[in-house]
């Protein structure tokens, strides 16, 4: 089963959308930081106690449950507010939580509920993704090709018999690098905007180049990959 043209168009649209929102987030954070001050924001978040991290974790998890919500801007925002290590930790926990919710929602309730969370166009892509999940290699390819639609891959995997632990072990190494890079970009923005503005510009050019170049490479791969083993469905 070749990747249909509609999927390739969707990939290009999603890639451009994610890059647009990341750029918009960077610009917004920059002006926000200069008008209010990053230290002031961090003080308010610290004053909120445990609720600051909890809100970020829940927001990040929600983006993996409800497909129309984009989660990419939350990574640099977390980096700005919490710094790299805590920002990465909180978004990582949110990713795991959201992945678990999406996976088991799909596993326990089936297509009818999945369609509600991913919308009708998204459900068509979930059905396409299912065609890749007959083998471990196919699952990895699906996550790489549909890297901007991780919730779709998760919902599709929930419709198969793959154990959650195996799915998580395969998915974490793929997503951890880009996530860390985006959180790092937010942390760098908060630290070096005033002292090393050109370094920040260079960093974001590198980040966007990696996203754009990687997206194009996987787009090319999507044209040629043809899964030949059907997925084992859970019957939902």
- pLDDT digit string, tens, across residues 142-160: 887 777 788 889 999 999 9
pTM: 0.76
**Candidate from 6-20, 170-184, 206-220 with smallest mean pLDDT:** 6-20
Residue 236 burial (CB < 10 Å; 0-12/13-18/19+)? middle
- Counting other chains too, the contacts that 222-226 makes at CB distance below 8 Å and 24 or more residues apart are 222/3, 222/7, 222/8, 222/11, 222/145, 223/2, 223/3, 223/8, 225/3, 225/132, 225/141, 225/145, 226/1, 226/2
């Amino acid at each position: 089963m070749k990747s249909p043209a509609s999927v390739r168009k969707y990939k290009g649209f999603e890639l451009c959308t994610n890059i647009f929102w990341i750029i918009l987030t960077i610009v917004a954070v920059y002006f926000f930081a200069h008008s209010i001050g990053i230290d002031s924001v961090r003080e308010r978040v610290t004053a909120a106690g445990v609720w600051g991290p909890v809100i970020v974790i829940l927001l990040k998890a929600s983006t993996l449950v409800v497909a129309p919500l984009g989660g990419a801007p939350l990574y640099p925002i977390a980096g700005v507010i919490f710094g790299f290590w805590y920002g990465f930790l909180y978004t990582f926990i949110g990713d795991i939580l959201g992945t678990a919710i999406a996976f088991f929602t799909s596993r326990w309730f089936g297509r009818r509920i999945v369609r509600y969370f991913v919308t009708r166009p998204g459900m068509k892509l979930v059905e396409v993704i299912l065609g890749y999940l007959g083998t471990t290699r196919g699952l990895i390819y699906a996550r790489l090709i549909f890297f901007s639609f991780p919730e779709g891959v998760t919902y599709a995997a929930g419709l198969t018999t793959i154990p959650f632990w195996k799915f998580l072990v395969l998915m974490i190494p793929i997503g951890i690098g880009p996530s860390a890079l985006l959180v790092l970009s937010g942390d760098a923005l908060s630290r070096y905007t005033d002292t090393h503005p050109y370094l920040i510009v260079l960093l974001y050019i590198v980040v966007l180049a990696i996203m754009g170049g990687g997206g194009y490479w996987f787009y090319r791969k999507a044209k040629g990959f043809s899964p030949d083993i059907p997925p084992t469905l859970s019957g939902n």
